[in-house]
């Protein structure tokens, strides 16, 4: 079957760095996306990795290793507004996104 595994909850301190890991198992694979969702809000797109390596967008970076079926989202200089749920999602051979259950990021002052 198709599945993505990510931690259910991560806690970090304001100003610190946090990494949210994601492992995937899909029928075919085109790339890995990351989305942010605040409580009561809609998911918003953060990044998409089709190739191995690290991609940086401001304070957020995303990494992919296709050989390990693994990726992570790295958040630097954490701010209180980064408190949210983060979802990884794999684009499969049917060109559909398969979603992880989400990681709730709790940031403490």
Partner 1 sequence: EAQVTQNPRYLITVTGKKLTVTCSQNMNHEYMSWYRQDPGLGLRQIYYSMNVEVTDKGDVPEGYKVSRKEKRNFPLILESPSPNQTSLYFCASSSSGRAGEQYFGPGTRLTVT
CA–CA gap between residue 15 and residue 27 (Å, rounded): 38
State yes or no: residue 60 binds partner 1 (CB under 8 A). no
Asked if residue 11 lies in contact with residue 71, where contact means CB atoms within 8 angstroms, the answer is no
Residue closer to partner 1 by CB (options 22, 75) is 22
Between strands 31-37 and 97-99, the pairing is unpaired
State yes or no: residue 70 binds partner 1 (CB under 8 A). no
CB of 47 to partner 1, least distance (A): 9
State yes or no: residue 107 binds partner 1 (CB under 8 A). no
State yes or no: residue 86 binds partner 1 (CB under 8 A). no
Indicate which single residue of 24, 33, 75, 86 sits in contact with partner 1 (rule: CB under 8 A): 33
Q: How many CB atoms are closer than 10 A to CB 31?
A: 17
Stretch in the footprint of partner 1 (CB under 8 A) among 20-28, 53-61, 67-75, 92-100: 92-100
Of the candidates 68, 64, 75, 67, the residue with the CA atom closest to the CA atom of residue 32: 64
State yes or no: residue 89 binds partner 1 (CB under 8 A). yes
Q: Which residues pair with 33 in a beta bridge?
A: 48, 89
Asked if residue 74 lies in contact with residue 61, where contact means CB atoms within 8 angstroms, the answer is yes
Q: What residue ranges bind partner 1 (CB under 8 A)?
A: 30-33, 41-45, 48, 50, 87, 89, 91, 95-97, 99-102
């Amino acid at each position: 079957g198709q599945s993505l595994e990510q931690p259910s909850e991560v806690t970090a301190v304001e100003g610190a760095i946090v990494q949210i890991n994601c492992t995937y198992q899909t029928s075919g694979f085109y790339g890995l996306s990351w989305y942010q969702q605040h409580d009561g809000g809609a998911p918003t797109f953060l990044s998409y990795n089709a190739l191995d390596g690290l991609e940086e967008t401001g304070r957020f970076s995303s990494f992919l290793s296709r050989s390990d079926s693994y990726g992570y989202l790295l958040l630097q200089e954490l701010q209180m507004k980064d408190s949210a749920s983060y979802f990884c999602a794999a684009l499969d051979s049917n060109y559909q996104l398969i979603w992880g259950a989400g990681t709730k990021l709790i940031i403490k002052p």
